[in-house]
Amino acid sequence: MIPLLVLVVSVQTWMTPVPAHSLGWLVYYGPRYLVEANAEYRGYDLSPYWQACRVAVMSPADLGKMVWFRRHLGQRSVGPCLAVDISKRSEFYLNVIERGIVADVSTEVGFEKGLRAEMYVGSCPPRISEPRRYLPKVTLDEPPIGPNPLFWPYPSQKLPQRCDKGWGDGFPFPE
């Protein structure tokens, strides 16, 4: 039997926020009830967001922030969405470093399989910006692994505002 090796990043690595404008893989989050349960658990109201769009981001530092997506330069964006959940620390290395994932997204974003796309974290995406890969400096925890911090109270959610310039006003990816 081959032993399973799990690389658990330090809390400091896990707390590294994604660049404001990043490029990476979007993967399917899960059924609507799972995402809504995470939003409710953290006290987040999804009603102000485009189609109640919600996502899981990789770092706890990005919890409660607004997130936008687009497939390619020049296309309209999807958003705003709310970051309601995070990657487990024990899965962060695999998700971020090995797979290049930037977010787990709900079906409102327009797909159920992996998609490479740009992600912007903030109130309104800029008109011009260069995406970067999310590649934090990695330090690993050595066994025994310490506990994860409690993030209570959860960060307050950022609320949408009108975006007149940038990636658009929140439209689904074209088919």
Q: Which domain holds residue 45?
A: 11-121
Residue 163 within any structural domain of the chain: no
pLDDT at 174: 38
Residue 35 within any structural domain of the chain: yes
CATH of the domain at 77: 2.40.40.10
pLDDT digits (tens, 9 = 90+) for 77-110: 888 899 999 999 999 999 999 999 999 987 766 6
Q: What does pTM read for this prediction?
A: 0.86
66-72 mean pLDDT: 87
Which of 119 and 74 is assigned the larger pLDDT? 119
Query: Considering Cα of 81, then 83, then 88, then 92, what sign does the dihedral take?
Result: positive
Q: How many domains does the chain have?
A: 1
Residue 128 within any structural domain of the chain: no
Q: Which of 1-10, 23-32, 35-44, 52-61 has the lowest mean pLDDT?
A: 1-10
pLDDT at 173: 42
Q: What is the DSSP string of 73-128?
A: TTSPPEEEEEEEEE--HHHHIIIIIIT-EEEEE-GGGS-SS-EEEEEEESSS--SS
What stretch of H or E contains 34?
helix 32-41
